[in-house]
Amino acid sequence: MKRCSISFETLADYHDGRADENAAQQVRDHLASGCTECRNGLAWLGKAAHTIRDAESVQVPSPLIDRLQNIYAERFRMPARPSLLARLSFDSRANHALAGARGAGEEAFKLNYTTDLHDIDVWQEPAGQTNWYLIGQVLPREGDETVQPQQVILTSESGSEYSVTPEMPEFHLPSVPAGVYRATLRLQDGEIVIPAFTVGQGER
């Protein structure tokens, strides 16, 4: 089943008025495109907020609250999600003969990041005056098993978020403004983090 590219966290920030203008406009445009899943999610958030306001008027004894919180924490304790830090290992801009190898023009380039377990290949191609088209994949360093990210998220320094839920091992982010992002690639058994991922022809 196809999952929506707008994360629940982004939708909740939009509902509560916490989203910045770029993120809010992204949600508005997405809702205008007719996404039923996000419209239902927004309606659910409205009902949940109303229920929470009603619940705040109910006085629950503190000892009971403590007991319930302890029971919940014990029963639903989730295992820690391992997080792997990726480092830049290759930049084709340092080798002009390779920079245009994909055939997308001289400004296109390839970056490679590595962890102890993975290689992450990312192509960047111009998509307009200031935006870039990102194409990437995660490859295991040993074996030939396919790695398909469950979600790829780019978070800018201002908090703007661009995300995609890939339907195949190769992921695409068609139009991302140039800048520095925190990249998170969520896998089935953990996640890969690139703390300073540069989109566009920034500093190398």
Q: Which residues pair with 133 in a beta bridge?
A: 125
pLDDT digits (tens, 9 = 90+) for 172-198: 999 999 999 999 999 988 999 999 999
What was the pLDDT predicted at 2?
46
Q: Quick one: pLDDT at residue 47?
A: 84
Collect all residues with Cβ–Cβ distance below 8 Å to 59 and sequence separation of at least 6. none
pLDDT for position 168: 92
Q: What is the DSSP string of 38-76?
A: HHHHHHHHHHHHHHHHHHTTS---HHHHHHHHHHHHHHS
Low-confidence spans in the chain with pLDDT less than 70: 1-3, 52-58, 76-81, 95-106, 202-204
The answer to whether the CB of 164 falls within 8 A of the CB of 151 is yes
pLDDT at 37: 86
pLDDT at res. 145: 81
Whether the CB-CB separation of 172 and 133 falls below 8 Å is answered with yes
Q: What's the pLDDT at 99?
A: 47
- The per-residue pLDDT for 54 is 65
The terminus-to-terminus CA distance of the chain in angstroms comes to 39
- C-beta neighbour count of 86 within 10 angstroms: 21
Rounded Cα–Cα distance for residues 94 and 42 (Å)? 46
Domain ranges within the chain, ordered by starting residue: 8-75, 83-199
Q: Determine the pLDDT at residue 33.
A: 87
Q: Domain 83-199 falls in which CATH fold?
A: Immunoglobulin-like (2.60.40)
Amino acid code (one letter) for 35: C
